Amino acid sequence: MYCSSCGSANGDFAVRCHACGQLLASSTSPLPTNQSSSSSLPNPWLAGTAIVATLCLIGLATLITQRGLWTALLSTQPAPTVVAPESSRLALRQRAVPMPTTSVVPRPVHPMILDLGQVGSSGPWRFVVDDVGFAPDESANGWYQAVVTYTLLNTSDHAAELPIPSTVPNDTNKPHAITKQPSFVPLPSIPEEDPSIANGLRLYLLDRAERAFGGGFGTGEGGYEFIAAAGDAIRLNYRFRYPDSSLQPFTLRFQFPQSVGAARFDVKLDQKFPSSVSLVPSSSTPRVPEGTWVRIGNEWSVTCRGVDFSPAQQTGERPVTVHLQVQNLTDTPRPALMAPSDSNGSLRDFYLTDSAGHLAYSHSDNLPGVIIPPHQTRDVLVHLYTLDLASTAHPLYFSAVVNWQTNQTAQFLLQGLDSAN
């Protein structure tokens, strides 16, 4: 930079002249007066793209105008582009968190607390625990047994069945009974089935530590399918085995199946209900006296002539014989009192009770098997067995259930009995 006063040369960033001290002019560079041709002219590629896009838009507008689509386009709402439809979001959530493939387990039902002699009900069934006894178990050293007596009443107006499977685990190493005792397995028995899935009434004995012990009927601890005609009350004995380490008080748990209400009860076996009651056969059930003929469906007509009691056997069971007369109403010969649709007799049952529900039951191998010709009548004997039904009890109630599913039954009220003591 040169001084305008003395003409001396100075640096480009000098403020005063080094020779005369004169202030120098500003060193700011002037702005360029023109730019290069490459920055001032538009980009040829961008210009071509804009021209092509414009021509496409013009062609598209012409096509829409020719086809009259402007009204439809203007009235249609634009589809969402960011938020997925609800169905898609649900599907994505299902894939991210798989839904269960099995049915949801229902919440556990809290048991209703009952005492001895207090009535409970589930669906058409009413029950009451009448008594309980504890004693050493002769079939297993160091173990005890509890024998619970309870009564079931069918309150419906038709025959019904209630499977009562054994709740004893299938243990082949379990000690066997060393004394011969009655085998209480009324007909028809159910096939062996896992008690955890059996659709029936399940009973367990719980000690003070909430340990559960299974049980069954008789020394074999079996189970059976309980069949009862309308209004009948039947008294049953159920046996449990438990170790001597179990501490009282004990509780008897009833768990009814889903098909009859799924009610759950815990009966305190050490407490007696103050106003305990006993379930008795319904007085409103139509029962005919002995000697009266009853028609069962279109196949049978039957009457009861009387009952005989025989001396007790070595097993403790006492034989009971019911005398019937049966007429075949069809045109073909048939086994006595068997439904045409029931080839194996699993839908029928025969039993005798008193007013307290004490039972004479049938075995699987002695049901009536007499073949009756068409339109003829035959004498038929029904062989039953009892542990506690007295020959002096009266009245007695005899029920012949030919088919519980179709309510084909005959019920008799027996007063004057020809009994052998």
Give the Cα separation of 180 and 263 in Å (integer): 36
206 and 268: one domain?
Answer: yes
355 and 380: one domain?
Answer: yes
Q: What is the DSSP letter of 270?
A: E
Domain boundary among 211, 242, 272: 272
12 and 150: one domain?
Answer: no
Sign of the alpha-carbon torsion through 238, 267, 191, 398: positive
Give the Cα separation of 419 and 412 in Å (integer): 17
407 and 305: one domain?
Answer: yes
Give the Cα separation of 349 and 367 in Å (integer): 8
144 and 266: one domain?
Answer: yes
**C-alpha to C-alpha distances, 375 to 326, 327, 335, 381, 410, nearest whole angstrom:** 10, 7, 13, 19, 19
Q: Residue 378: CB partners within 8 Å, gap ≥ 6?
A: 325, 326, 336, 370, 372
pLDDT of residue 168: 81
Select from 342, 344, 331, 330 the least CA-distant residue to 301. 330
pLDDT of residue 156: 95
pLDDT of residue 102: 43
Q: Read out DSSP for 308-336?
A: EE----TTS-EEEEEEEEEEE-SSS-EET
- Quick check: is 87 in a domain? no
Give the containing element (helix H, strand E) for 371.
strand 371-372
**pLDDT tens-digit readout, 161-200:** 998 888 886 554 555 444 444 444 443 444 444 444 557 8
Count the Cβ atoms, other than its own, within 10 Å of residue 292: 13
Per-position b or e across 67-78, b if 16+ CB within 10 A of its CB: eeeeeeeeeeee
244 and 369: one domain?
Answer: no
Cis bond before residue 169 (omega within 30° of 0)? no
**C-alpha to C-alpha distances, 157 to 163, 226, 335, 407, nearest whole angstrom:** 19, 17, 27, 9
Domain boundary among 241, 272, 303: 272
5 and 123: one domain?
Answer: no
Give the containing element (helix H, strand E) for 86.
helix 86-96
pLDDT of residue 15: 62
CATH number, position 365: 2.60.40.1240
pTM above 0.75, yes or no: no
- Quick check: is 45 in a domain? no
Give the Cα separation of 273 and 130 in Å (integer): 10
pLDDT of residue 366: 78
Q: State which residues form the domain around 10.
A: 1-27
Domain boundary among 238, 272, 306: 272
Select from 310, 367, 336, 402 the least CA-distant residue to 186. 367
Q: Read out DSSP for 338-365?
A: --TT-TT-TT-EEEEEETT--EEEE-TT
- Quick check: is 98 in a domain? no
267 and 301: one domain?
Answer: no
Please report, in tens digits, the pLDDT of each residue of the chain (421 residues total): 677 777 777 766 666 676 666 666 654 444 444 444 444 445 565 666 666 676 667 766 666 666 565 555 555 454 444 444 444 333 333 333 344 444 444 455 688 999 999 999 999 999 999 999 998 887 666 788 899 999 999 999 999 999 888 888 655 455 544 444 444 444 344 444 444 455 789 899 999 988 888 888 876 777 878 899 999 999 999 989 888 888 889 999 999 988 898 899 999 999 888 887 889 999 889 999 999 999 999 999 999 999 999 998 887 889 999 999 999 999 999 999 999 888 888 899 999 999 999 999 988 777 888 999 999 999 999 999 998 999 999 999 999 999 999 999 999 999 865 444 4
Q: Percentage helix, strand, coil, to 5, in the chain? A: 10, 35, 55
- Quick check: is 174 in a domain? yes
370 and 334: one domain?
Answer: yes
Phi, psi of 215 (to 5 degrees): -160, -170
- Quick check: is 38 in a domain? no
Cα angle, residue 86 at apex, residues 80 and 88 outer, rounded to 5°? 90
Contact 159, 401 (CB under 8 A): yes
- Quick check: is 7 in a domain? yes
- Quick check: is 4 in a domain? yes
- Quick check: is 191 in a domain? yes
296 and 331: one domain?
Answer: yes
Count of domains for the chain: 3
234 and 167: one domain?
Answer: yes
Intra-chain end-to-end CA distance of the chain, in Å: 152
Give the Cα separation of 321 and 380 in Å (integer): 10
248 and 321: one domain?
Answer: no
pLDDT of residue 154: 96
